[in-house]
Amino acid sequence: MATYIRKATHERLHRRIRKKIAGTAERPRLAVHFSGKHIYAQVIDDDASKTIVAAATTQKDLLGKNKPAANRATAEIVGKAIAERARAKKIDKVVFDRGGFQYQGKVKALADAAREGGLQF
């Protein structure tokens, strides 16, 4: 029962955020998602409905020999990777979409790492 309530709350918050945030070609949306085991980040142009770049812990080259985990250290790795890949595509300004998650812990670590990598939001 508690899992259902938590998931419904998360989805409601995400819908509320998405009403206000949209990515464009000039300023795409950096969307993050955290499952129990993995971390996903995408830079999305909502006008064209296209994912421009993505980084996730499911990619073997990202973690190397480390095991996938949804923690702060891994969030920093994903944040740096998404910033590198976005900068390679000439993207330096994005809109941050926290995806209904609270801006603390893993979300903040990923955002700070992306900022250090050169993304502005």
72-88 vs 106-116: helix crossing angle, rounded to 10: 30
Q: Would the pTM of this model clear 0.85, i.e. be above it? A: yes
Residue 76 confidence (pLDDT) = 95
Q: What are the tens digits of pLDDT across the range 50-101?
A: 999 999 999 988 887 778 889 999 999 999 999 999 999 999 999 999 998 9
Region 11-19 average pLDDT: 91
From CA 28, how far away is CA 94, in angstroms rounded? Answer: 5
Q: What is the pLDDT of residue 15?
A: 92
CA–CA dist 121, 34 (Å, integer): 20
Instruction: Indicate the pLDDT class of residue 6, thresholds 50, 70 and 90.
Output: confident
Taking the CB of residue 75, how many other CB atoms lie within 10 A of it? Answer: 26
pLDDT, the chain, mean: 92
